[in-house]
Amino acid sequence: MATRLTTIDWVNKVDGFPDPERDPQRYSEEMKRLYTLTWKDDQGSFPIGYVPLSVLEALENTHADIRGPMDVDHEARTICLFQEPATEPERTKLVGRLTAYWRHNHTFRILDGWRNELWPVYGRSGELLFSIERVAMGLFGNARFGVHMVAFLRRNDGNSRYGFRIWVPKRAANKSTYPGMLDNTVAGGLMTNEDPFECIVREADEEASLPEDFMRKNTKETGTITYIYITDERAGGEQGWIYPECQWVYDLELPADGSVTPSPKDGEVESFSLHTVEEIQEQMAQGLWKPNCALVMLDFFARHGVLTPENEPQYDELQARAHRFIPFPGPHWPSWQHASPPERKA
């Protein structure tokens, strides 16, 4: 009989990178396979990513004309890279040249999923240092930013202990990452210079055919979740990449009469279906959800009173791990790094 997943199982899957204060021994072991990518400004050096040893080896085997100047401190286990040239557009071009070179030479399988989407890497004051192809971010362990939304409607028909239903999409079978798994109603990555709310409005149209006017009037931002994910093979390449992530989370209440419903549009989603809380809990127990989307759903359950300190023994662990400190800069650094859990709704 297959093992049934619990709340803490999902938390461990998504926030798999050990916290140096909570688990220093595991953190020390994990860091043996990593170097820290650093950036220098007028205040000194600070971290912006985690670089696996395989990427360090590839950097050392790549000519400086392609990757640019590199300073490696093997004693401190740090790499300083992409500091030159002096402007952000030129640095973005340099990063693009390096990652395209590796893609052309099939250096890393993760680059086979190339998306032609640029994602941002930030400095300590929230300034843009450079942008990088989204699938290449895992090579350098940079912080990633995205948006997730749960759409629901009110319904009391005696078939659930809870008075609402949730729209759940099934990812398309041809997706390069987590094909066929269950997801949040709408989700997507934050591209360079994109506002989180504008991103969720765009993604809602592209993925779920939800009207822009309705989204702008009814979508509610609920806060953020933060975690550091270690990829498995379902993430579209080799396992073991480090993904520090911050997700802006939104709720959308849809009309109970069904006058506004999500439907597939761009091929990212195979179908949408309406589910009770109990049905989703069973799906999660069976491991049918994309991992970080499961964490967003657990956050939704906590905010809406489905999970409470009284009925979930790991409630405090969920809140701590879903709002953990991220050691790298972001667009609103440092406020986003350690998000406080939102208040529970009555």
Q: In this predicted model, what pLDDT tens digit does every residue of 230-285 receive, in sequence order?
A: 998 776 667 899 999 999 999 999 999 999 999 999 888 999 999 999 999 999 99
| Spatial distance between the Cα atoms of 169 and 105, rounded to a whole number of angstroms | 36
Distance CA 86, CA 74 (A): 25
pLDDT tens digits, one per residue of 133-189: 999 999 999 999 999 999 999 988 878 999 999 999 999 999 888 899 999 999 999
Cα–Cα distance, 200 to 287 (Å, whole number): 26
H helices present in the chain, as ranges: 7-14, 24-31, 53-60, 64-67, 88-104, 137-140, 196-208, 212-218, 277-285, 291-303, 315-321
Q: 130 burial class (0-12, 13-18, 19+ CB within 10 angstroms)? A: buried
Q: How far apart are CA 301 and CA 212, in angstroms?
A: 26
Residue 26, pLDDT above cutoff 80: yes
- Range in 85-94, 152-161, 182-191, 289-298 with the lowest mean pLDDT: 152-161
Q: What is the CA radius of gyration of the chain?
A: 21
- What pLDDT digit, counting tens, does each position of 192-205 carry? 989 999 999 999 99
| Overall size of the chain counted in residues | 346
- Supply the pLDDT for residue 286: 97
8 A C-beta contact, residue 322 and residue 299 = yes
Question: Is residue 273 within 8 Å of residue 263, measured between CB atoms?
Answer: no
Strands 78-81 and 34-41: parallel
What is the per-residue pLDDT for 232? 82
Helix ranges (DSSP H) in 167-310: 196-208, 212-218, 277-285, 291-303
Q: What is the reported pLDDT for 158?
A: 79
- Cβ of 236: how many Cβ atoms within 10 Å? 20
Strand partners, 72: 79
- Are residues 83 and 69 in contact, defined by beta-carbon separation less than 8 angstroms? yes
Q: What is each CA distance from 91 to 68, 121, 316, in whole angstroms? A: 9, 11, 42
Whole-model pTM? 0.92
